[in-house]
């Protein structure tokens, strides 16, 4: 940075210097070629911590083409910071939603990108999707934590948009056809279909039925009374 020695103030951001390092003097940041962001001003508390002021980012190494409602993935970088000094952040765009897949060791294994539009979308190479920022330092606007409610809402939207409506309708049709071929869970009795309208019985028949029902009710009462007398 010798060519900038003696400069008191530089207006402008995000320009290249011969070493290949991008300087953002407005935010006091320097971005190294391996996408590591280093703040140019560090506090006294973080002076003894070599990793305290580093923001490590990651994204696809190649341009990813996403047809309508299709999911693609890219592998995360192998060298990832520890969880104790850094926190993982992720962001989305209006064209696709990221889904972070963790390994059994808790590291980011790969990231799934789900297109949210029916047309062709793109994710450019080296687009910043992941950001490991030190605790207490907020990343740029648009990044959220994996434990946040907004990230969970993203996953619901990604699942909804990734479903093929035509395929889902075909699956439901096949399932209904399969259910029709299955035997009934409860045995159904065979009933003969009615051939005429049933008529109400005559008055004499109704009176006889009433007498029979009254006799059937009175017999148990008489037997109960007889047993009580015997006692």
Determine contact, residues 30/37, Cβ cutoff 8 Å: yes
Q: Which fold would CATH assign to domain 34-166?
A: Deoxyuridine 5'-Triphosphate Nucleotidohydrolase; Chain A (2.70.40)
Longest dimension (CA), the chain: 125
pLDDT of residue 220: 62
| Residue 38, strand partner residues | 30
Terminus-to-terminus CA distance in the chain, angstroms?
Answer: 118
Cα 119 to its chain centre, rounded Å, is 22
Reading the block at residue 108, the tokens are: 């980011």
- Count CA atoms within 13 Å of residue 135 on its CB side: 7
Tell me how many degrees the CA angle 189-191-193 measures, rounded to the nearest 5. 155
pTM of the model: 0.51
Residue by residue, pLDDT tens for the chain (231 residues) are 444 544 454 555 445 454 567 776 666 677 766 656 666 655 444 444 444 457 888 999 899 998 887 888 999 988 888 877 888 999 999 899 999 999 988 899 999 999 888 888 889 888 999 999 888 787 888 899 998 999 999 999 988 887 766 777 888 899 999 988 888 788 778 888 888 887 776 666 666 666 666 666 566 666 676 666 666
How far apart are the C-alpha atoms of 85 and 38, rounded to whole Å? Answer: 15
| Helix, coil or strand: residue 193 | coil
Reading the block at residue 162, the tokens are: 């990734």
CA pseudo-torsion sign 65, 66, 70, 75: positive
């Amino acid at each position: 940075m010798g060519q900038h020695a003696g400069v008191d103030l530089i207006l402008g951001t995000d320009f290249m210097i011969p070493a290949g390092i991008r300087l953002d003097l407005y935010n006091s940041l320097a971005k190294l070629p391996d996408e590591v962001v280093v703040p140019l001003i560090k506090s006294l508390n973080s002076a003894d911590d070599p990793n305290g002021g580093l923001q490590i980012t990651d994204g696809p190494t190649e341009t990813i083409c996403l047809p309508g409602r299709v999911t693609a993935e890219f592998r995360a970088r192998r060298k990832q910071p520890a969880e104790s000094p850094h926190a993982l952040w992720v962001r989305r765009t209006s064209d696709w939603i990221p889904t972070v897949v963790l390994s059994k060791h808790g590291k980011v294994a790969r990231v799934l990108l789900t297109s949210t539009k029916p047309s062709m979308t793109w994710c450019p190479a080296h687009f910043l999707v992941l950001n490991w920022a030190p605790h207490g330092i907020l990343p740029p606007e648009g990044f959220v934590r994996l434990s946040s409610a907004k990230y969970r809402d993203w996953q619901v939207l990604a699942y909804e948009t990734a479903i093929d409506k035509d395929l889902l309708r075909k699956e439901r049709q096949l399932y209904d056809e399969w259910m029709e071929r299955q035997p009934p869970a409860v045995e159904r009795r065979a009933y003969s279909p009615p051939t005429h309208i049933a008529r109400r019985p005559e008055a004499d028949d109704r009176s006889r039925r009433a007498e029979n029902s009254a006799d059937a009710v009175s017999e148990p009462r008489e037997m109960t009374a007889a047993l009580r007398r015997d006692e």
